[in-house]
């Protein structure tokens, strides 16, 4: 994650964001790994889960955001955290588990990245990954449309949004030749969000951040209002005040030979 991430905004929907990590964690087929890496650890919420599951392991969190790492260190003083570009990160010694929750979708060239991460593991180690698969959803599609269609278009022209990930079958073809076992699945969560313009607030914690950080003051406020208005027909508030956000995610568990 980049240095502009806001831990408080990201953690506004902490329960919804952690559920996929829990669903991935329970599938990891390692009884007692000695070294565990949380790649793209953010504010350390998932790192804490890894520490609780394997209290005897050395658990290390890696992230590119100084703000997120400061939050993580405050919450988990007993864990080690390192600031690094997760696309180029290399461990000092091969870990038995690399766990990455909702981070790798920001990185390019998965055809190289995922096999490289698998190759960093110890023999028999596991690469466990969860990524949003929302590139075709209004939540993501409307960000680019609103960015290109307003007076802020020139300032937002160079924004690099979260990338479209590969299809499940493409990850299978990439990883299966180097795996002792490979499990890939998809889940669509129906997040029930509370509050005014809840989907806007969700997006501000993640995928909208690169756009919002380019703007200031009233221009930023106008952009957010335009995006919120574009979202409402797709994510209407229910009679009870809840907004439902269908959110598709891809999971993979790859065990190295």
According to DSSP, the β-strands at 97-101 and 126-132 are parallel
End-to-end CA distance of the chain: 30
Burial of 236 (0-12, 13-18, 19+ CB in 10 A): exposed
Considering the segment(s) 7-133+162-194+244-256 as one domain, its CATH architecture is: 3-Layer(aba) Sandwich (3.40)
Handedness of CA 123, 124, 126, 127 (dihedral sign): positive
Over range 172-196, report the average pLDDT.
Answer: 97
For residues 105 and 40, the answer to whether their CB atoms sit within 8 Å is no
151: tokens are 């007076």
Q: pTM of whole model > 0.85?
A: yes
Q: Domain extents for the chain?
A: 7-133+162-194+244-256
d(CA 83, CA 51): 19
% of the chain at pLDDT higher than 70: 95
d(CA 155, CA 148): 10
Q: Is 67 or 117 the better-scoring residue by pLDDT?
A: 117
- pLDDT tens profile 206-239: 889 999 999 999 999 999 999 999 999 999 999 9
- pLDDT tens profile 111-148: 999 999 999 999 999 999 999 999 999 999 999 999 99
Out of 1-15, 173-187, 204-218, pick the least confident.
1-15
User: Tokens 């991460």 label which residue?
Assistant: 117
pLDDT band of 6, cuts 50, 70, 90 = low
Over range 179-186, report the average pLDDT.
Answer: 98
Residue 1 has pLDDT above 70, yes or no: no
């Amino acid at each position: 994650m980049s240095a502009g991430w806001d831990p408080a905004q990201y953690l506004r929907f902490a329960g919804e964001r952690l559920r996929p990590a829990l669903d991935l964690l329970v599938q990891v087929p390692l009884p007692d790994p000695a070294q565990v890496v949380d790649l793209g650890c953010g504010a350390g919420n998932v790192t804490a889960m890894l520490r609780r599951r394997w209290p005897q392991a050395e658990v290390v969190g890696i992230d590119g955001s100084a703000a997120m790492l400061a939050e993580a260190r405050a919450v988990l003083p007993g864990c080690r955290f390192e600031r690094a570009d997760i696309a180029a990160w290399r461990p000092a010694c091969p870990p038995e588990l690399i766990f990455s929750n909702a981070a790798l979708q920001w990185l390019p060239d998965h055809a190289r990245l995922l096999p490289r991460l698998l190759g960093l593991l110890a023999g028999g180690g596991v690469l466990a990954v969860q990524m949003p698969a929302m590139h075709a959803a209004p939540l993501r599609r409307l960000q680019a449309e609103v960015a290109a269609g307003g007076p802020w278009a020139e300032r937002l022209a160079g924004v690099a949004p979260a990338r479209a990930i590969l299809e499940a079958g493409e990850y299978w073809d990439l990883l299966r030749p180097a795996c002792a076992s490979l499990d890939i699945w998809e889940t669509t969560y129906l997040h029930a969000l509370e509050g005014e313009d809840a989907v806007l607030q969700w997006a501000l914690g993640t995928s909208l951040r690169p756009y919002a950080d380019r703007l200031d003051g009233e221009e930023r406020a106008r952009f957010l209002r335009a995006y919120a208005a574009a979202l409402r027909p797709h994510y209407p508030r229910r009679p009870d005040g809840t907004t439902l956000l269908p959110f598709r995610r891809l999971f993979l568990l790859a065990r190295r030979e």
